[in-house]
A and B are shown apart, each in its own frame.
Chain A
Amino acid sequence: AQSVTQLDSHVSVSEGTPVLLRCNYSSSYSPSLFWYVQHPNKGLQLLLKYTSAATLVKGINGFEAEFKKSETSFHLTKPSAHMSDAAEYFCVVEDTGRRALTFGSGTRLQVQP
């Protein structure tokens, strides 16, 4: 079975400083990995996805993630946080058989002014 582990339930940064949200995955073969963002009481928005092409994936709103097979990691980064980035972030792995998604436990990002 595939799974993802988000190492931090809560991350707080100051506006303008870098963001790092950590994710480790477990998969018996090359997975499809995603990062989604959820604002309060809203649905989910896809930030970026990795599907075995380039290991450094660029997403929307300045976010990017690097797939590191040796470390089984897919950490999400952004050089400079903005107040509007405050939200819940989910690292997600796709079950390539059923094509359903398995979500990590989520990381709440807080951005301080």
Chain B
Amino acid sequence: GAVVSQHPSRVICKSGTSVKIECRSLDFQATTMFWYRQFPKQSLMLMATSNEGSKATYEQGVEKDKFLINHASLTLSTLTVTSAHPEDSSFYICSARDSRSSYNSPLHFGNGTRLTVT
């Protein structure tokens, strides 16, 4: 079945540094990918919609300069947390749907990235 690979699975960084998270669709093409954030013991909140070849669409309240999204190819989207601070510590999950599949095809999720900012 379709697989979404997310890397790294865990990352610890110092406050003020930037961290890049990659999301790859391994056996399908995805013109659109979604980035979610999950705080401990809470639900997933959509951060932004990543669009191949164009600008990402951010949800209200999400800082686009803080969370840079690049979707340079049909199989790769990256999320860069710039100048990370402890409050950015969270679980980040990406998802993607096969662009060539039927309308009702499900989203496939990566295994998430646990970011800890010290």
Contact = CB atoms under 8 A, between A and B. Distances in A.
A100 B34 contact: yes
Contact of B95 (A51, A98, A101, A105): A101
Interface string A93-113: 000001111111110000000
Given A32-B104, A101-B34, A41 B114 contact: yes
B59 to A, nearest CB: 9
B93 A105 contact: no
Interface in A32-67: 32, 34, 36, 41-46, 49, 51
Contact of B112 (A42, A45, A99, A105): A42
B42 A105 contact: yes
A25 B95 CA distance: 22
Interface of B: 4, 6, 32, 34, 36, 42-46, 49, 57, 91, 93, 95, 97, 104, 106-107, 109-112, 114
Interface of A: 32, 34, 36, 41-46, 49, 51, 90, 98-106
